[in-house]
Each structure stands twice: as C-alpha cells, then as structure tokens.
Structure 1
Amino acid sequence: MAIPQAFSDWIEATSGARLLKRSPVGGGCIHSAWRLALADGQELFAKTNRAELLPVLEAEAQGLEALARSIEQGQSSLRVPRPCGLGLAGGEAVLLLNWLQLGTPTDPAQAWEALGAGLAQLHRGSLIGHDGRFGWERDNFIGSGPQANRWGETWGAFFAEQRLRPQLSWAADSGHALPGAEALLERVPLWLAEHPAEPSLVHGDLWSGNAALLKSGGGAIFDPAVYRGDREVDLAMAQLFGGFPRSFFRGYEREWPLEAGHQRRVELYNLYHLLNHANLFGGSYWQQSAASITALLHTWP
C-alpha cells in the first residue's frame, strides 16, 4: 500500500529524515499502528487515526511524558515510549514515538519481576513533590471512553465520584441502569476512608495488553490513562483480563509491599474497568458489572 504523501512529508518535517518504509503493526484496537524506517537509520513507531481523535493522542502523549518524569524521579528501570511528534498529517492525527524492541529476553521471569519492581519505583518516585490531591490536570481517556479527573482531597470520594459515578450514569443513560448503583456510591467513600491511599501517578489502564517485555530484559508500559490515585489500582487491573505473571507481583512487593487488605479492594477497583468495557462493548460485561456490584454490597459492611 502506497504511503500517503502528506504522511511522508509530515514525518520528514517532524523527524528531519526521509521516510523509507511504513509497515503495519498489529495489536491496537483504537488506532492504526506503524513501524517506520527512516533514511538516517532511525526506527520510529507511529499511531494514526481520524483528525478529530487528535485529543486522544494528545492525552496519551502527555501521559507518557508524565510517566517518564516519575520513572526518572523514582530511578526506575521501567521504560515508556518517548513522544517524538504529534500533529495532523493531511486528514490524519499522528503520534510519533521512539521504537522499543519488544520480545522475549533470556530470562522472562526475571524480566517480569524487574517490570514489577520498576512500577513500584515509578509509583514511589511520583510522590516526590505532590500536593496531596487525587485527580489530574485534565480529563483524558480510558480506552476510547472519557475519563473524568477533577481534583479531589480524599481518595474514597474521588473514586466514587470521578470513576464509578460517570460510568454508572453512562450505563443508565443507555438503558442499562444497574441495581445497587446508588447504594454503592454512598458506601465507597466509607469503605475507603480507613485506607491510607497516597496520590501516586498511576498508569490507569494496566492490563496485559499495555505492558511488554524488552528483548534486552526488563519491561515497558504504554497506552496510559494517567491520573494521581491509589497505586493499588494498577496492581488490581494487572489481575484482570488474563492478568500478569506472578513474578511481576513478586517484583513489585519486594520493592514496595502493598498495604494490608489490598486483595479486598481488587474487585472494587476493577469494577471501574468492567463498567467501562460494558459501556464501550456491551455483551457479558453488563452481567459481570452487575454481579460485581451485588458481591461488593454483600461482602463489605
């Protein structure tokens, strides 16, 4: 397939080198993804989509830059793609990133353990200089869905009002009002009141499709939905949709052990992602979300 001239021109203007080859990369469910070979020997990664989705790519770029700063502050070995360019090429929105050589290292278990330890270092490093609030400087996206991030002083109120309430309202507006929704929203701040959550910078969408090992060892995370929240939300989602290997959790706990009762909060935190998937994709996610609400209301006081 011929490369659009507007895309080639934009890549050269942005990178300073002529584009030689554009090859499709699989795995994305929102954007088209490409491996680019440039005349100066660089390899880059590009995401493209319709021009009106430029804000989604802008939020991703901002999230990656924020994660990179926290990696530096935490002296973490974790890697994230580095934004190299963002804009419109003809009628397409484009995000340009450095190419990471993903693959299977010599010792995958050790690499997953290093990825877990690196995430703990990122979470801890992000607390340097924070102001104590939960949220983010802008609303962004969770997958292709909207994510509200208005600043809040307490974690329980933030999670109820900025995470669960928008998803439950979206569900009700589409004809899927879920039993127990209001009772849940009333109880969540009480359930989390005794949990000493700190406002770490979290990836926010850390399922197994948004992390990978590097051929050289260690690992990388990408496609974030960042905000300042309880670090446990990343560890909870890492158990959802197939989950991460046990060595990942072992590495995290070795570096920064989780608070008592963290396993009890997993279902609550993952309800947010079940609701988002129900709103975006429908199907059995509605039944899973309803069952989760029922279970939470029965198992928590």
Structure 2
Amino acid sequence: MSIEDLLPAIAEALHQAGGQRVQLISATPAGGSTPALDVRGKGVRLFVKLADITAADRLEAEADGLAALAAVGTFRIPAVLAQGHAGDHAFLVLEYLSLHPLASAEEGERFAQALSALHATTGERYGWHRSNYLGPTRQPNDEQDNWVLFLSRHRLAPLLAQAGKAGYSQEIERPGLRLLERLPALFLDYRPAPSLLHGDLWHGNAAITVDGMPALFDPACHYGDREAELAMAELFGGFPSAFYATYRRLAPLSAEYELRKLAYQLHHLLNHLHIFGKAYAGQVQRLLAQLLRELS
C-alpha cells in the first residue's frame, strides 16, 4: 500500500473519531526515528505515525501515554485525533505542532519547571495500567508496592536476559544478575514517591513550541522514581545546562543520586544494546563493573 492509499483511511478515521469530514491532499515522510507522515489537506495539517499492523499495540500504548501527560497539563502534548489501520499499516493521527529543540537557558528553565510539576503528580503504586514500549522494546508494567522490585523485575532483568540470548551471558547477563542481588543497597534509606514519568526523556522527545511552551511526545509513561527521568536526560545530553540546574533547585536530588543514576542509565544502555547491538556492549560492561565495585 502506497502512502497516498492511506489518505482515505486516515480521513475516515478522523470522521469516525470527530464527526467531521476532511479532504486530505498529500502525505510526505516526516523525519524521526519511527515511520511517520506529514499529512496536509484543506485547512488541516496532521502528524501521522505508522506501524506494521502486527505492532499496532505500540501506537495504542503511545496514545495512552499522550493522554495521561495531556491530562496533567504541565506540557504541550500533541492531541490524539484518531487511530486506525489500512492494509498492513496501523496509524495514529496526532495534532501537528510546530516545534524546535530546546536551545536557550530560558527554554531549559521553562522545561525544568514543567517537568518538576509533572513529577509532582503521583500515584499509589509503581508501574502502569498496561504494558508499553521503550522504542520497540515492550515493557511490562505490572504494578508494585516496592520500587526496587519493580526496577529489577520489569526493567533490568528482562534486558539482561535479552543480552544473554544475544551472546553476552558471561560479560553482561551474569554480572548483571549479581548486581540485581545487591541493588537494594542503593535504596536503604530512599523511598521515592511514585511520580508520573514520561519514561523516555532524551532530547529527541522534548521540544519547545513556536509560542514558547515546553512540549513532550513519544512517551513510555509509568509511575516511578523521578531520579530515573533525570538520569536518562543526563545520559544522552542535549538539554541546556539551565534545565538541570533549575530542576535541582525546584526539586532537589539527594546526595546518593549520583550513584543510583548509574543503575537507571544501565537500563537504557541495555535497551540500546538490545536494539542496536554490540556498539553498546563495552559501555554496558564498564557501567556494570563500576556499579559492582561501588556495591561490593
């Protein structure tokens, strides 16, 4: 099915969702890490994410996360307009937002203000009401009362098992399992509140609208330790330094954060190893060795 052949199905999904009929004229590939279209019509512009029909659940999980973030109101979130499928394609129709990356100190400050307010939204337990996805990786989110248990069972252990299957049993899986045994030592006097997290906070999923509003998209939402969100933002960089300083001023981090963040960054590096392969193996091994030394 060609891109143009998707337009009638997208228009019909919009009609079913909102009651209005729109005439869509063109669709061009949009930049990004996942397949998406910049769709235009008479008086309308849309951002449409695509997936193979067998991966439609990824788009449903994304729509769920976007709705949760939008309900809090601290960030500008693209509205979910419709979902559907045509042939072997599933699609998610989103509001088109004109965005640019965070660049100035002022933008970093505004983003930090919005993020600290998002993290002030808390739940009763860690986890989420459904599984979702970190990139293409499915994440189980069964709710737990114990954060270390959630982190071990639903974040680190599945990716350590994947590393073993990929041939890294000796170098990564086995030392990783030793780390899981010692992980509670990082949380002896620390009981994080179950904060609402975006869950995939790297600079590519953060932006500023043309009218200066902080924006978020591509979520992997769950309730968890807000330190995990900051750890990922630090791992891949790209945020203005004022973002980190402002967040710490508004929502101070404990002295032990510098060590705990390594465990949170390990999670994302293991996921990159799973997705992208051996280019991340050395970095994962070094981080595992550092954590094991610190916890010996």
2:47 aligned counterpart, secondary structure? strand
Q: 2:31 matched to which residue of 1?
A: 26
Opposite residue 30 of structure 2, the aligned amino acid is V
Q: 1:266 and 2:261 equivalent?
A: yes
Q: 2:17 matched to which residue of 1?
A: none
Q: 2:128 matched to which residue of 1?
A: 136
Opposite residue 10 of structure 1, the aligned amino acid is A
Structure 1 residue 51 displacement after superposition: 1.0
Partner Cα separation in structure 2 for residue 18 and residue 193 of structure 1? 59
Opposite residue 58 of structure 2, the aligned amino acid is V
Opposite residue 4 of structure 1, the aligned amino acid is E
Using the aligned pairs only, state the percent identity.
38
Aligned partner of 2:286 among 269, 285, 291:
291
Q: 1:88 and 2:85 equivalent?
A: yes
Q: 2:112 matched to which residue of 1?
A: 116
Q: 2:98 matched to which residue of 1?
A: 101
Aligned length: 287
Partner Cα separation in structure 2 for residue 194 and residue 264 of structure 1? 14
Structure 1 gap segments, 5+ residues each: none
**Deviation per residue, 1:272-293 (Å, 9 max, x gap):** 0000111111123111111111
Q: Is the 8 A contact 2:10 2:84 kept in 1?
A: no
Structure 1 residue 43 displacement after superposition: 1.6
Choose between structure 1 and 2: higher helix proportion.
2
Partner Cα separation in structure 1 for residue 266 and residue 3 of structure 2? 42
Structure 2 gap segments, 5+ residues each: 15-20
| RMSD between aligned residues | 1.9
Q: 1:186 matched to which residue of 2?
A: 181
Partner Cα separation in structure 2 for residue 287 and residue 220 of structure 1? 34
**Deviation per residue, 1:43-96 (Å, 9 max, x gap):** 211011211111111111111111112x23xxx2x2121111111023211011
Q: Is the 8 A contact 1:19 1:38 kept in 2?
A: yes
Q: 1:215 and 2:214 equivalent?
A: no
Q: 1:164 matched to which residue of 2?
A: 156
**Deviation per residue, 1:200-229 (Å, 9 max, x gap):** 111111111111122221321111111111
Opposite residue 9 of structure 2, the aligned amino acid is W
Aligned partner of 1:247 among 242, 246, 268:
242
TM-score by length of 1: 0.90
